[in-house]
């Protein structure tokens, strides 16, 4: 991932964080693909989304 892609990702995450009513940060190690897909579908049904991002880029996006 080059710098331009990282910049785009940070901008997108910043927009998502700004428009979100709430944000949940979770450690998802050990979750199977089926469980992650189930989580994504339940979140979509509830009107939410699941995003996976690199910790450092998410931190930069949260700082503005």
Tens digit of each residue's pLDDT (9 = 90 or more) over 4-63 = 999 999 999 999 999 988 888 888 899 999 999 999 999 999 999 999 999 999 999 999
Three-state SS annotation for 1-64: CCHHHHHHHHHHHHHHHHHCCCCCCCCCCCCCHHHHHHHHHHHHHCCCCCCCCCHHHHHHHHHC
Looking at residue 53, what is its pLDDT? 92
- The sign of the dihedral angle between the CA atoms of 6, 9, 13, 15 is positive
With bands split at pLDDT 50, 70 and 90, how would you rate the model's confidence at 64?
A: confident
Packing angle, helices 55-63 and 3-19, rounded to 10: 60
pLDDT at 1: 86
The model carries a pTM of 0.75
């Amino acid at each position: 991932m080059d710098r331009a892609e990282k910049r785009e990702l940070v901008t997108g995450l910043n927009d998502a964080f700004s428009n979100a009513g709430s944000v949940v940060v979770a450690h998802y190690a050990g979750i199977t693909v089926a469980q992650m897909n189930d989580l994504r579908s339940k979140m979509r049904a509830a009107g939410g989304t699941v995003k996976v991002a690199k910790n450092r880029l998410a931190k930069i996006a949260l700082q503005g």
